[in-house]
Amino acid sequence: MLIVSEIIERLKDVLSKDGKDGKVFDKDVANALGLSQVNFATMKNRSKIPFSNILDFCALKKISINWLLYNQNPSSLLDSTDKYWIKYYSNINVSAGGGAYESEESFEKLEVPAYFANMLGGEKNLKNVEAINVVGDSMEPTLNSDNIIFLDSTKKDFSKEGIYAFTTVHGLFVKRIQRRVDGKLDIISDNKEYPIQVVQKNEIQILGKVIGSFGMVF
């Protein structure tokens, strides 16, 4: 994946080719992504990529997300012809801090390059993989707010330590889960400012294991 500065330059190229008069500045990119200049500058300084905003931009401009993020070179700025895609629920937010859940049945197709599809278990496994957004900071530095995470819905055996998306009476969460010797579960935030929580296994419902994200692969 390209670094943030390279992605910004590619976005500027797109805006320039799209008929923007004169030099394209960071403020133009921020506006195109629907971000304030302050938020854009903060993300740029922290090398954080606003994936969901970029996906919306690519859909609007009909360009390949693979070209923009992975430096794959299609012959033009047309829709990618890659056959690898997964269900992306852009209106569902899994919380890494508080409780955030917005039920949404509709999804959009999110294209992924072949090597990333292999990391998610291969083409045959893509039917079991869904993508949702992360909000909050409790899983930093492993997962950052505005990351897109990929869940394998067939992996719900929390006896094996890992990062899982799950629901409780308080909403939808993504945390690291460890099984205790007494049968209870430790719910762990990678951000050490958040305390470990202990729950009964019947208090949570596992949606799937996090097997990757835009930003990091486990």
The residue that leads in pLDDT, 99 or 6, is 6
Beta bridge partners of 163: 176
Stated pTM of the model: 0.64
Strand-pair category, 171-179 with 162-168: antiparallel
Question: Does domain 82-212 fall into CATH 1.10.3720.10?
Answer: no
Distance set, CA 145 to CA 95, 113, 136, 201 (Å):
9, 23, 5, 26
Instruction: State the angle between helix axes of 37-45 and 26-33 in degrees (0 to 180), rounded to the nearest 10.
Output: 110
For the chain, the structural domain boundaries read 1-73, 82-212
Q: What is the pLDDT of residues 110-151, one digit of tens each?
A: 878 777 888 888 888 999 999 988 888 899 888 888 788 999
Measured CA to CA, the distance from residue 174 to residue 185 in angstroms comes to 14
* Percent of residues, the chain, with pLDDT higher than 90: 28
- Identity at 105, one-letter amino acid code: E
Question: Tokens representing 141?
Answer: 């530095």
Q: Please tell me whether the peptide bond between 74 and the residue prior to it is cis, using omega within 30 degrees of 0.
A: no
Residue 204 has pLDDT above 80, yes or no: yes
What pLDDT is stored for residue 97 in this prediction? Answer: 59
Look up the CATH architecture of domain 1-73.
Orthogonal Bundle (1.10)
Residue of 36 and 68 predicted with greater confidence:
36
